[in-house]
Amino acid sequence: MAELAAQSRVSKDTIRRFEGGDSVLPRTIDSLKAALTRAGVEFIVSGKPTKDLELHLPDGTIVRRSRG
């Protein structure tokens, strides 16, 4: 989390609140998304709301998590 906070210029407390489901400002989400994108994360719009996360690792492994 420290690296994400530094790269996005968003405080660790704000990241914790966001991860916990609290609302944050749109510019905070933009900053987090920009930092993650620079780190190689690709955001894919599926056309439907979801709380699922799918990571495609360089070795071909796919990791799926659901928060729903």
Structure confidence by residue, pLDDT tens digits, 27-53: 999 999 899 888 888 777 777 776 677
Residue spans per domain, the chain? 2-66
Give the pLDDT confidence score for residue 66 in this predicted structure.
73
Q: Compute CA distances 29 → 14, 40, 59, 60, whole Å.
A: 10, 16, 29, 28
Give the pLDDT confidence score for residue 6 in this predicted structure.
95
pLDDT tens digits, one per residue of 3-15: 999 999 999 999 9
Task: Determine the Cα angle at 9 with ends 34 and 43, to 5°.
Answer: 20
pLDDT tens digits, one per residue of 53-67: 777 777 888 887 776
Give the pLDDT confidence score for residue 68 in this predicted structure.
56
